[in-house]
A and B are shown apart, each in its own frame.
Chain A
Amino acid sequence: MDMPDDRPRGDGLASISTQSAEAESTMRLLDRARGGDREALDRLVSRHLNPLKRWARGRLPRWARDLADTDDLVQDTLLQTFKRIGDFEARGPGALQAYLRQAVVNRVRDELRKKGRRQESTDLDGLEIDAGLSPLEEAIGRESVERYERALATLKEDEREAIVGRVEMGYSYEELADVLGKPSSEAARKAARRALVRLTQEMDRDGS
């Protein structure tokens, strides 16, 4: 009964079978939000909240996640980020997604600083947080995560965002098409697939 489809597993709610005619692109919503449209702001936050939560939960060390309710933190970060969205300049497909992750990282770092935690610096997607392992590191080991990270870093931004968006943030292909500026979910799927094959080749080169 469990047929393969393009839904992220584990939560039925994130499934979107067809993008509604009323579903505006993120870029359009951004424009409207810049103009002070409150509803557009709500929708932007709603749309990106779960993917960012999903990403943050995998990436933040456990003690960091205990420190504050990560979900609230992510939600608040998103809201503040979008409110100041005038500063943001989209430099290409996937740029917004990366920007939002960076904003969450910055926010976590701020929180850590406030709490006066000592930090053990690692190079994790530009993050300088840590002390203790993230669930991801616990699951696959720090070395593997690093290898994955290094390979990701060699990819072009849109390739990287296709992989991170799908694998770590759990965007549906429709949503991925939206954030990557692809014409269709199928195009997003193909792009992600190509990028992933590229990534494995890079990982291989790294190891040899």
Chain B
Amino acid sequence: MLANEQLLDDLAGAVLDGDAIDWAEAESSAGADVRLVRHLRLVASVAQVHREALSDATLTSSGPVLTHATPPERWGHLRLLERVGRGAFGEVFRAWDTRLDREVALKLLAAAPTASGPQPGTIIQEGRLLARVRHPNVVTIHGAEQIGDQIGLWMEFVRGHTLEQLLRQGTVFTGADVVKIGLDLSRAVSAVHAAGLLHRDIKAHNVTRAEDGRVVLMDFGTGKELDDNSSSDLAGTPLYLAPEVMAGQPATVRSDIYSLGVLLYHLLTNSYPVRGRTIRDVRRAHERNERVGLRTSRPEVRPALARVIERAIDPQPERRYANVEALARDLAVLQRRPGVVRLMYGLAAAAAIVVVAALASDVRARLTGDNRSLGTRFASMFGLAPNYRANPLIAVLPFRNASIELSNSLLVESVTDGLIQQLAIIDGLEVRSRTSSFLLKDKPRDLADIGRRLNVNLVIEGDARLSGNRLVINASLVSIEDDRPVWSDTVDRELSSEGDVVGVVEHLTRKIVNELRLKLGRTQRQYKTDIPTYEIFLRALALRDARFFETIKAIPLFEEVLRRDPSYAPALAALALAHGDRSRNYPDARGTATPPTEADTQAEPLALKALEIDPLLPEAHAAIGGIHARAGRWAQAEESYRRAISLQPNLTFLYGSFVFYALHPLGRLDEALSLMQDAVRADPLSPDARRLLGRVQISVGHFDDALANCTLVLEQDPKYPFAGEICGLALMFKGRTDEALAWFNKGGRADLNEHWIGYIYAVTGRRAEAEALAARNTHLPHRPAMIYAALGDKDRAFEALEALALVNPYRAAYYLSVRELATLHDDPRAAILRQKLSLPR
């Protein structure tokens, strides 16, 4: 009964919305309520009769409504408010549509035919054709009509500036701007082409950037039907015209692509690929193939972007993109992934973001042993062709009930529902609503038809079966284009009691969707947390990312976030990481660090909960990696970190964790070095990445580089903690011990640096002072370890390391790999200790 209520409600909505409904199917699934469905069908017929009664041209062609004479400030049903533009063939007004009470733009042209201008009949006809195009990036044409001696074309009024105006105002478009604009316009032109039309006048004057940032393709005065090959009048500005059109051939999809390419070229360079002051000049330049390469005009344009644009404006039509969608796909590849990149690097220049993306891809490739070209990897990273990769539009087909008992249909429906809900959390994925999916229930499966009707390129289909207490769900992701399964999975779980069903369905659908996120390359999920909570979270992240050693200050903020939203997985993971990091230097001079076992008691449940909610959250994997490392499970630690980084290669703060929790203690210093170099290249303004790079450079003996890096950090922030220590270490190893001592003693930080101060005493012959420092620091075993090693007293050095290994095994492993203790590396006792710490030989 419940299911039928839902059915009736959905059908009623569809009737009122005027949606197409498969009545035979609806009646067959209504059971006892079939009569009610028939009544609804009757009402749908009523609606249809009335719709058809007024579907002809009467609405557009009925003259002015008013009974009095039309005042001069009116045109038909439009009240003219102000003139906003004047073009070659007419004027444009802001106007008020009194029929529909909305603001419109009215383009008025003289109906008297002119030699060069468009012909009146054609304009009206074309206006009506163009009214078919509905796309957010294409201006919506409302109607076209002739009244007296004027032809009016009225359309959506878009507030903003044309791209040409913006250029003249001195706007400099970055590569990223142009990629975004190019992508929006490709979609717009694609919609025009899909309607069977050509635009034929794509240029910077005809594109408006609305106040809300939307890019809108305007002005269709010369639009022509796609198959109208007869005429070849020279529409469009010559500078944007494809050479073959200039030579008298008809316009095509590829000539629109050419103009779009010129527009993008123009935005980047404020110039044109083929130049000339007159049509004759331009024609001659085309004939002689005199073209200026994009990078000649603006050298800093990324080669990849230049290649895309050059292909669009290739003089040979057959070498251009075959259709706008192909151009859009290539542009989509160049567009950086939105989301966290922006969050983490919001302050860095756009150029840096490009580096982040490229580098991240590179790093991930290295981590995963991926040897494909950078371009190919880019493609997989951002999602390239086939179409669904660039812009996945997904519908969930109603799941089939594979149970023996038919009474489980409600359960099966809840699986469909659950999937739709879970899919909605994937960033950048459009999911069709429940009603749309529902209308397809038990219809013959015609993928092409479904794709068209729901405007999707992917569907999820499958079945659910309840056998005994076990719910089993089979799900496949199918690409509409070729009816090919892209992915499939089976999940199952025991139902423990009746009330458990919802939880199990949620668990299983979440599992499916999380796998899908990986498959689709869209690993960002959305969280619905409130803005104040999110702001606290951002503040905490900023604290953590700015100064690794101050992670501890972020802890109460993360805790506050979780008080407000206990299931906010990023905060759970961040807090887990923070607890782990807080134990890293235990025992420390100021007593702020916590013992690792204690830290992990707190960190582990947090990290596990985060993973359960969001198995693809990179920070959660990193937190698990840290827990493994502190427990001496190095292989698992490495695996977790690699997974974290591959999930989101541009989260460079993870690199530092990976290096210091795994690669460095494992003695894989070359890998550590290269990873930290990547991190700094990706995030050149991060003092922490640079400081950690300096530390690794010391370990591999690149003291000058380390010195340069710590100096850079201190130039940015003279008080940056532990940067001075890197300088001190570099100087110490370069033998400039006095300068090194000055750094270690600087700013009242001597108490934090007694191990290195003692080390310098030891190597400069101040043996007694060194011994004294070691003796008074037995509670901080790394200090005597370092000082005794410098004094050549390996027995006591190992004794101290053993003591350290008891309270903080991870840290003992790390110290075994640092340069300060290099004299111990080959000692047999080091091998024994390594074995105890589960480190490889």
Which chain A residues have a beta carbon within 8 Å of chain B's beta carbons? 1-14, 16, 19-20, 22-24, 42-43, 45-47, 49-50, 53-55, 57-58, 71, 75, 79, 135-136, 139-140, 144-145, 147-148, 151, 163, 166-170, 189, 192-193, 196-197, 199-201, 203-204, 207
Contacts and interface: CB of A to CB of B under 8 A. Distances in A.
5 contacts: A1-B194, A3-B454, A54-B51, A55-B50, A167-B50
B80 to A, nearest CB: 14
Contact of A9 (B9, B51, B58, B102): B51
A10 B65 contact: no
Given A49-B65, A144-B42, A197 B12 contact: yes
Contacts of A16: 100-102
Nearest to B48: A139
A14 B100 contact: yes
Interface in B463-501: none
B17 A3 contact: no
B52 interface: yes
Given A42-B98, A200-B8, A167 B47 contact: yes
Given A55-B50, A136-B49, A193-B13, 13 more contacts: A4-B435, A6-B17, A46-B77, A54-B53, A57-B54, A136-B50, A139-B49, A148-B42, A193-B16, A200-B43, A203-B39, A204-B35, A204-B39
Interface string B429-445: 00000011000000000
List the 8 closest A-B pairs by CB distance, nearest first: A57-B53, A10-B55, A23-B101, A58-B50, A200-B39, A54-B54, A196-B12, A203-B39
A102 B76 CA distance: 28
A42 B12 contact: no
B575 to A, nearest CB: 39
B66 A8 contact: no
Contacts of A47: 99-101
In this complex, which of B55, B96, B435 has the most chain A Cβ atoms within 10 angstroms of its Cβ? B55
A57 B46 contact: no
Contacts of B101: 16, 19-20, 22-24, 43, 46-47
Contacts of B507: none
Contacts of B131: 12
Contacts of A189: 13, 16
A49 B58 CA distance: 12
A46 B65 contact: yes
A9 B53 CA distance: 11
A141 to B, nearest CB: 9
A99 B58 CA distance: 24
Contacts of A6: 17
A20 B45 CA distance: 32
Interface in B22-77: 35-36, 39-40, 42-43, 45-55, 58-60, 62, 65-67, 77
Given A1-B194, A4-B435, A23-B101, A42 B143 contact: no
Contacts of B39: 151, 199-200, 203-204
A197 B8 CA distance: 7
Given A22-B96, A50-B99, A166 B435 contact: no
B49 A169 contact: no
A135 B49 contact: yes
A2 B55 CA distance: 17
Contacts of B45: 139-140, 144
A112 B438 CA distance: 48
Count chain A CB atoms within 10 A of each CB in B14, B48, B54, B142 and give the residue with the most: B54
Interface string B258-284: 000000000000000000000000000
Contacts of A201: 36
A108 B61 CA distance: 24
Interface of B: 8-9, 12-19, 35-36, 39-40, 42-43, 45-55, 58-60, 62, 65-67, 77, 96, 98-103, 131, 134, 142-143, 194, 435-436, 452-455
A20 B131 CA distance: 21
Nearest to A201: B36
Contact of A58 (B36, B53, B66, B143): B53
B42 to A, nearest CB: 5
Contacts of A53: 54, 58
Given A9-B51, A13-B143, A135-B53, A43 B46 contact: no
A175 to B, nearest CB: 9
A132 to B, nearest CB: 15
A13 B100 contact: yes
Interface SS majority for chain A: helix
A53 B100 CA distance: 15
B36 A200 contact: yes
Contact of A4 (B36, B96, B194, B436): B436
A13, A16, A167 — most chain B CB neighbours (10 Å): A167
A201 B62 CA distance: 39
B100 A193 contact: no
Contacts of A3: 436, 454-455
B142 A13 contact: yes
B46 A5 contact: no
A11 B55 contact: yes
Contacts of A11: 54-55, 59
Given A13-B59, A207-B35, A193 B54 contact: no
Contacts of A12: 131, 134, 142
A189 to B, nearest CB: 7
Given A10-B54, A193-B16, A140 B59 contact: no
Contacts of B47: 166-168
B460 to A, nearest CB: 19
B452 A1 contact: yes
B669 to A, nearest CB: 57
A153 to B, nearest CB: 15
Nearest to A162: B16
Contacts of B12: 193, 196-197, 200
A35 B254 CA distance: 59
A1 to B, nearest CB: 6
A149 B52 CA distance: 20
B67 A50 contact: no
Contacts of A7: 18
Contacts of A5: 17
Nearest to B435: A4
A204 B32 CA distance: 12
Nearest to B439: A4
Nearest to B453: A2
Contacts of B98: 42-43, 46
A115 to B, nearest CB: 22
Contacts of B60: 13
Contacts of B143: 13
Nearest to B142: A13
A64 B99 CA distance: 26
B36 A196 contact: no
A42 B65 contact: yes
Contact of B67 (A20, A79, A139): A79
Contacts of B103: 20, 22
Contacts of A55: 50
A48 B452 CA distance: 35
Nearest to B67: A79
B156 to A, nearest CB: 9
A93 B17 CA distance: 21
B17 A10 contact: no
A60 B435 CA distance: 35
A140 B36 contact: no
A42 B98 CA distance: 8
Contacts of B40: 196, 200
Contacts of B17: 4-6
A193 B7 CA distance: 12
Contact of A71 (B50, B58, B435, B452): B58
Given A4-B435, A45-B65, A204-B35, A170 B16 contact: no
Interface centre among B53, B67, B452 (most CB of A within 10 A): B53
Given A47-B101, A144-B42, A197-B12, A8 B59 contact: no
Contact of B18 (A8, A24, A57, A58): A8
